[in-house]
Amino acid sequence: MDTVTLNSPCDMHLHLRDGAMMEGVIAFSVSQFSAAVIMPNLLPPLKNTKSVKEYESRIVTAANCADFLPLMTLFYHEGLTKEELTQAKTAGIKIIKLYPRGLTTNSDKGPKQLLSSKNLKIFKMIEDVGMILSLHGESSGFVMDREFEFLGVFEELAKMFPKLRLILEHVSDARSVDVIERYANTFGTITLHHLLFTLDDLMGDKLQPHLFCKPSFKLPRDRDALRVAAFNAHPKFSFGSDSAPHLREDKECPYCAAGVFSAPVLLPALVELFEKNNALEFLQPFLSLNATRIYQFNPPKRAITLVKKPFKVAREYEGVVSFLSEKEISWSIQSSF
Amino acid sequence: MDTVTLNSPCDMHLHLRDGAMMEGVIAFSVSQFSAAVIMPNLLPPLKNTKSVKEYESRIVTAANCADFLPLMTLFYHEGLTKEELTQAKTAGIKIIKLYPRGLTTNSDKGPKQLLSSKNLKIFKMIEDVGMILSLHGESSGFVMDREFEFLGVFEELAKMFPKLRLILEHVSDARSVDVIERYANTFGTITLHHLLFTLDDLMGDKLQPHLFCKPSFKLPRDRDALRVAAFNAHPKFSFGSDSAPHLREDKECPYCAAGVFSAPVLLPALVELFEKNNALEFLQPFLSLNATRIYQFNPPKRAITLVKKPFKVAREYEGVVSFLSEKEISWSIQSSF
């Protein structure tokens, strides 16, 4: 096959940042996706409807494309009220994003004890209002066990709030796949980089800070479980890139930030990966149908066509070293309507 | 206790490099140790007696201290002959260092198949000549399993060559401790950094390239097994820092070199660690008696006295970021005779 057309692909986990950085990176997402879930962990985090809507309007202006739908998220914090949630829902915000405190970029304002009575009350409100709860699912334990250790809390929430849709973001551990399959109300997103790599790629040869991300890459069996889910378009999982630009100087330094800037290469690399694994037929539902069913929304109708023609990834874009920097991908984007 | 005196401490695994770098870093070792095993993985590696002896003489000149004994090592390669080994032994070289090919800094000339008939013949020669075989013990498998996967080969060697003293360098996996205990002819060295840290310290928060080393930091249970061995001066283990200076620009970059430059802080940090763990009485045998018994040599008689006085580690020395950079250690070196 020499061309592949993807209808309304969606990126259900995206960091666009703000200001000049956002203006520099947004085109990569706009040109490849119909819709994207935009994460709220700016500094300061987007803790109320007003700040989310203002951010949305900056995004719409920068995107400059009627056929790109940003799905906005509200930053979970312990001060959330029913009024705030209702207001957010009314304003079109469907997703609350929860970061356990201190576990990733700009998560200082997240909750510390997820199962405290205060948080349980807020989860009940989110369920009642009919919003989605999206979770960065890690404990504060040993780095390779963090997602697994979080699963206990995740299961408790699934059982206590059966009508609350729970999304475990950027699944990295094979055992998460099992748990997500276990409950009607649990779902996951999967990144390109967790489909491609294990801890070996980060640090098996030289250490590669531009591959450093959270949750951490895990074992081959973990990557392989994610591949089975993605290559079969498992109905519980949608694609979420977690593309997260950091300036080169924040990655090549003594204390490197976590995050992989994959936005420039997403569709070409996904087509290449799915083709190599004889799973091309499942890329369309993984990228679109699963997302629209799980999140219940209608993305703008678009057709993105890729052609089998080498695409040499640049070393960096906008001062940010790209994922797969300087590598050659066998597919290129031909047109994006 | 306000002072601690260490008699003839030995660092049984040290990278001094060569030229300007060696001249810049050697004083840290000379001021803290009576003797050190000097690794031969220069570029090109030191594959014959002549190059080892020339290197030794550059070290002796740079050390400028009659009471610092460099224990030289010959780089293992498949061209080693009985003549070369005999010549080396006669010239005072007691240790052959083996790096499996491609697994760490400057290991391109190491062997690929350790148990090939060619290598088995050389191991027999080393045994017959009465030299020590020191091993970088890693497979080419998944980064967290490499040392464990090597243990099968290590055990085979221990059984096939019962009179050959085998040293598993920079032990990082709890299971290696068990194997080393199992055979009369197997021993290990333990670094300061593997006693202090796990994978969490490298990448649990921000990623810290200056902590990146091989073998990789492992799990808490691995670090704890090494602590039990060191804090009891287990007779099978001696101290080997594996201090390995790399210029800052080779660590803060897209592909970071493996190695931790611990030479500037070794004795203060060891005293602090052993004191905190009520194991100070075992530091002396761990640092000296075990080494002299395992390697059968007599280090120059020296007494290094440390005093309980804060020592602020510099950010870098000679363009190399130090281990524990900018941290404060509660012990300082008072005098070194």
Contact present, A243 and A15 (Cβ < 8 Å): yes
Res. A326 pLDDT band, cuts 50 70 90: very high
Q: Which residues of A touch B143 (CB under 8 A)?
A: 199-200, 203-204
Query: Using the beta-carbon criterion (under 8 Å), do B206 and A325 form an inter-chain contact?
Result: no
Distance between CA atoms of residues A98 and B236, nearest Å: 50
- In this complex, do A208 and B142 lie within 8 Å of one another by their Cβ atoms? no
Which candidate from A216, A257, A321 shows the least CB-CB separation from B254? Answer: A321
Confidence tier at A110 by pLDDT (50, 70, 90): confident
Q: Measuring CA to CA, which residue among A12, A70, A11, A20 is closest to residue A46?
A: A70
Residue A224 confidence (pLDDT) above 80? yes
What gap in Å lies between CA B337 and CA B113, rounded to an integer?
Answer: 45
Do A207 and B206 lie within an 8 Å CB cutoff? no
B-chain residues near A143 (CB < 8 A): 199-200, 203-204
- Give B-chain residues touching A220 at CB under 8 angstroms: 142
- Could you tell me which residues come within 8 angstroms of residue A36 by beta carbon, excluding any fewer than 6 positions away? A10, A11, A12, A14, A16, A29, A68, A69, A70, A71
Q: Is the pLDDT of residue B313 over 80?
A: yes
- Closest residue to A220, CB basis, from B142, B210, B321: B142
Residue of B nearest to A197 (CA): B142
Mean pLDDT of A2-19: 97
| pLDDT for B106 beyond 90 | no
The tokens for A279 are: 């799973």
Angstroms from B13 CA to nearest CA on chain A:
21
Residue with tokens 């401490």: B9
> What pLDDT does A109 receive?
82
Q: How many residues does chain B have?
A: 337
Q: What is the 3-state secondary structure (H, E, C) of chain A?
A: CCEEEEECCEEEEECCCCHHHHHHHHHHHHCCCCEEEECCCCCCCCCCHHHHHHHHHHHHHHHCCCCCEEEEEEECCCCCCHHHHHHHHHCCCCEEEECCCCCCCCCCCCCCCCCCHHHHHHHHHHHHHCCEEEECCCCCCCCCCHHHHHHHHHHHHHHHCCCCEEEECCCCCHHHHHHHHHCCCEEEEECHHHHHCCHHHHHCCCECHHHCCCCCCCCHHHHHHHHHHHHCCCCCEEECCCECCCCHHHHCCCCECCCECCHHHHHHHHHHHHHHCCCHHHHHHHHHHHHHHHHCCCCCCCEEEEECCCEECCCEECCEECCCCCCEECCEEEEEC
Q: Is the residue at B305 inside a domain?
A: no
C-beta atoms of A207 and B204 within 8 A: no
pLDDT of A296 reads: 97
Size of interface A-B (CB pairs under 8 A): 75
Look at residue B337 and tell me whether its pLDDT is greater than 80: no
Quote the percentage of chain A above a pLDDT of 90. 95
- Residue B312 domain-assigned? no
What CATH number does residue A213 fall under? 3.20.20.140
Query: Which string of b and e fits B290-301 if b means at least 16 CB within 10 Å?
Result: bbbebbeeebee
What is the rounded distance in angstroms from the CA atom of residue A123 to the CA atom of residue A185?
14
Determine, yes or no, domain membership for A257.
yes
Distance from CA of B220 to the nearest CA of A (A): 8
pLDDT at A223: 98
| Residue B317 confidence class, pLDDT cut points 50, 70, 90 | very high
Q: Would you place residue B189 in the very low, low, confident or very high pLDDT band (cuts 50, 70, 90)?
A: very high
Is residue A337 assigned to a domain? no
Burial status of residue A240 (CB atoms within 10 A of its CB: 0-12, 13-18, 19 or more) = buried
Q: Which residues of B are catalytic?
A: 242
Using CA atoms, how far apart are residues A211 and A197, in angstroms rounded to an integer?
9
Residues from chain B that touch A216, judged by Cβ atoms under 8 A, are 203
Alpha-carbon span B298 to B69, nearest angstrom: 9
Distance from B333 to chain A by nearest Cα, in Å? 27
**Beta strand A69-75 pairing with A95-98:** parallel
Chain A hits for B325, CB-CB cut-off 8 Å, are 254
Question: Are B207 and A256 a contacting pair at CB < 8 A?
Answer: yes
Q: Tokens 């770098």: give the residue.
A: B21
Does B336 score more than 90 pLDDT? no
**Residue B34's pLDDT is what?**
98
Mean pLDDT score, B147-153: 97
| Confidence (pLDDT) at A123 | 98
- Cα A63 to the center of its chain, rounded Å: 19
Q: How far is CA B207 from each of CA A42, A202, A325, B65, rounded to the nearest angstrom?
A: 21, 11, 19, 39
Q: Testing the interface with A: which of B144, B203, B216 to mutate, by most A Cβ within 10 A?
A: B203
C-alpha B41/C-alpha B188 separation (Å) is 19
pLDDT classification of A103: cutoffs 50, 70, 90? confident
Contact B284, B227 (CB under 8 A): no
Task: Select from B198, B204, B252 the Cβ nearest to the Cβ of A252.
Answer: B252
Distance in Å, alpha carbon of A205 to nearest chain B alpha carbon? 8
What number is the ipTM of this complex?
0.95
Does B331 map to a domain? no
Please tell me the predicted confidence (pLDDT) of residue B185. 98
Closest CA to A202 of B146, B254, B47: B254
Q: Given pLDDT bands bounded at 50, 70 and 90, which one contains residue A222?
A: very high
Q: Which residues of B touch A (CB under 8 A)?
A: 142-144, 198-200, 202-210, 212, 216, 219-220, 252-258, 321, 325
Name the amino acid, one letter, at B148.
F
Please give the distance of CA A173 from its chain centroid, rounded to a whole number.
Answer: 15
- As a whole number of Å, the CA-based R_g of chain B is 19
- Nearest chain A alpha carbon to B221: A142
**B206 part of a folded domain:** yes
- Cross-chain Cβ contact B198/A142 below 8 Å: yes
B118 to chain A, minimum CA–CA distance in Å? 27
pLDDT at B109: 82
> How far apart (Å, rounded) are the C-alpha atoms in residues A1 and B30?
66
DSSP β-bridge partners for residue A253? none
What is the domain extent for residue B225? Answer: 9-299
pLDDT digits (tens, 9 = 90+) for A283-309: 999 999 999 999 999 999 999 999 999
**Percentage of the residues of chain B whose pLDDT score is greater than 70:** 100
Asked if the Cβ–Cβ distance from B199 to A325 is below 8 Å, we say no
Query: Quick check: A199 and B143 CB within 8 A?
Result: yes
Residue A327 lies in a domain: no
Contact A143 B200 (CB under 8 A): yes
Which of A205, A256, A325 shows the shortest C-beta gap to B209? Answer: A256
Q: pLDDT tens-digit profile of B27-74?
A: 999 999 999 999 999 999 999 999 999 999 999 999 999 999 999 999
A146: closest CA of chain B, how far (Å): 10
How many structural domains compose chain B? 1
Q: What is the mean pLDDT of residues B8-12?
A: 98
pLDDT at B22: 97
Reported confidence tier of residue A41, pLDDT bands at 50, 70, 90: very high
Residue B203 is nearest to which of A143, A205, A325, comparing CB atoms?
A143
Residue A204: which of B143, B252, B321 has the nearest Cβ? Answer: B143
Mean pLDDT of B210-235: 98
Given an 8 Å threshold on Cβ–Cβ distance, is A207 in contact with B208? no
Confidence band for B102, pLDDT divided at 50, 70 and 90: confident
pLDDT tens digit string along A130-154? 999 999 999 999 999 999 999 999 9
Is A86 part of any domain? yes
| pLDDT band at A102; cut points 50, 70, 90 | confident
> A253 contacts in B (CB within 8 Å)?
252
Residues of A in contact with B199 (CB under 8 A): 142-144
Tokens representing A256? Answer: 């490197």
Side-chain-facing half-sphere of B30: CA atoms under 13 Å? 17
Residues contacting B135, CB < 8 A, separation 6+: B97, B98, B150, B154, B166, B167, B168, B169
To the nearest whole Å, the CA of B209 is away from the closest chain A CA by 6
Q: Check residue B241 and give its pLDDT.
A: 98
pLDDT tier at A106 (50, 70, 90 boundaries)? confident
Quote the mean pLDDT of chain A: 96
- Rounded CA-CA distance B108/B49 in Å is 19
Q: Tell me the C-alpha distance between B190 and A13, whole Å.
A: 43
Does the beta-carbon distance from B143 to A203 stay under 8 Å?
Answer: yes
B interface test, pick of A101, A202, A203 with most B CB neighbours within 10 Å: A203
User: Alpha-carbon distance B312 to A74, whole Å?
Assistant: 44
| Per-residue pLDDT at A258 exceeds 90 | yes
Cβ–Cβ of B216/A203 closer than 8 Å? yes
